Structure 1
């Protein structure tokens, strides 16, 4: 994997951490997730008008990804109802790299070398270490179930989009249509929260939609990288967003233990290096 591709994925990880920090600090996370989805739809509407259509066969993957993303938002919202972000998030993201690598091996024949698997394992351990204190306090049955469901959904849409974007013939078009179909997610949340939307301060609307723009940009970078690198490796590097989120929490939100989080960052850095050298 080239340094350029690694830099793209790590940039996406930082952006992903930023929009998750936005959701974390929101008073109503469900409404904020809906606004994040709307933040995908607005620029995507312009893009689908200007760009050519992706290949017909890739639309199947776009639709599957949209359905799975709906499940992801549902699972994530339920997980946050039953558990804290600091508990739910590392569980959900920590299982993703191994699952994506497994699905990619079974579905598209991408077999990672042992060194890459060691790197994935280090990143997974780093994710858990970053929130170790919260995890030690215990995880409720429902929180654990929905967190695992969230991670499962992430792994499925990661592989589906990895296959779809390679078939699309145009990464930008695939990205735009996938983002545009977040319309259904934004619409669902809008219907559920219709009574409170009119009372939302303008600041909340702006922050939520900006979070969506950041999220969309992050996923576009990941989609681009999936054209050039194994899906499991891309997923593992993307999940370093957890440690970036933890560092944002420490620096700006005054959360957590800096030594533990620094140790997690070092583990992840070794993991990134091993993956980069292996593939």
Structure 2
């Protein structure tokens, strides 16, 4: 399968597959965010998810995929640090405001920074139509942020901090998107990168989550938390794995922006599953973000 994927790089079939993978990643990333933000403490949820996908990846890393070349170990170390900071920022943001407040700002600002990073690192350039799409996307993002600042009543004292953390998290989303694209392209076998990435990336947060759980006055039951972790681990494989493969097959910036159609899924999940109040105005602004992403894709 690795040889088949590599043969598609730079082809029209590769572009089509990258498009499908980015759309899949968009939906699954919204599901992943909801799993972390759900009824459990986001730090505990993240620990359970990370531990699950590290255990799932371990046999593939050690016994199935080709062993990484020596030059890959510094790349894995860089990815480990970037993702660790990203997860800290994300958990801090989710701890301070609602999922439908934090998630769109993270994903939208992440797409803008990713486009800039793709230009600086890979020399990718957007057309005028694609930049129009980015303008539409950013209008939705900042419109949503202003709406939340004006109308949100719950957790209002922590909202400015949550939005600031969301923007910082978006910066690291862009950083890991471009860095992971570099890493998966540097690997001879893309599945070697994926297996070792998930194994290494999942080692820290389970320890932090365990310490946090033990320090709680009334810690939640372990069973449901672990079940959420297993589901989240599977979702993570397909979500993060899909976008990483998409960035190897085609342009990094376009894949990163198209993934931000996840804001529509996030709105529906926040409303239907997490019982958060969304409202028609916020849904319209989230749809504007998704529309901008679509314009970017078809303007290329």
TM-score, L = length of structure 1: 0.88
| Distance (whole Å) between structure 2 residues aligned to residue 261 and residue 7 of structure 1 | 27
User: Could you list the per-position Cα deviations for residues 7-56 of structure 1 after superposition, in whole angstroms to 9, with x for gaps in the alignment?
Assistant: 21111111111121122222311111111111220211021021102443
Alpha-carbon offset, residue 196 of structure 1: 6.2
| Distance (whole Å) between structure 2 residues aligned to residue 273 and residue 187 of structure 1 | 37
Alpha-carbon offset, residue 106 of structure 1: 1.4
CA contact (8 A) 2:17 2:246 kept: no
CA contact (8 A) 1:115 1:274 kept: yes
| Distance (whole Å) between structure 2 residues aligned to residue 84 and residue 155 of structure 1 | 22
CA contact (8 A) 1:126 1:264 kept: yes
Choose which of 24, 33, 37 in structure 1 pairs with 2:37: 24
Change in CA separation of 1:239 and 1:39 when aligned onto 2, cut-off 3 Å:
farther
Cross-structure match for 1:255: 276
Alpha-carbon offset, residue 256 of structure 1: 3.4
Change in CA separation of 1:247 and 1:125 when aligned onto 2, cut-off 3 Å:
farther
Find the residue that maps to 2:221 and give its secondary structure.
Answer: coil
| Distance (whole Å) between structure 2 residues aligned to residue 231 and residue 202 of structure 1 | 38
User: Could you list the per-position Cα deviations for residues 182-229 of structure 1 after superposition, in whole angstroms to 9, with x for gaps in the alignment?
Assistant: 233234324522526986331221112211220221010001100122
| Distance (whole Å) between structure 2 residues aligned to residue 168 and residue 106 of structure 1 | 21
Alpha-carbon offset, residue 57 of structure 1: 2.8
Q: Where in structure 1 are there 5+ consecutive unaligned residues? A: none
Q: For residues 60-139 of structure 1, what are the structure 2 equivalents within 5 Å?
A: 60-127=74-141, 133-136=147-150, 137=152
Change in CA separation of 1:253 and 1:144 when aligned onto 2, cut-off 3 Å:
closer
Q: Where in structure 2 are there 5+ consecutive unaligned residues? A: 1-11
| Distance (whole Å) between structure 1 residues aligned to residue 138 and residue 73 of structure 2 | 32
Cross-structure match for 1:15: 28
Aligned length: 279
Alpha-carbon offset, residue 92 of structure 1: 2.0
| Distance (whole Å) between structure 1 residues aligned to residue 131 and residue 298 of structure 2 | 12
Structure 1's consecutive aligned runs of 4 or more residues displaced over 4 angstroms after TM superposition are: 127-133, 138-141, 196-199
Find the residue that maps to 1:226 and give its secondary structure.
Answer: helix
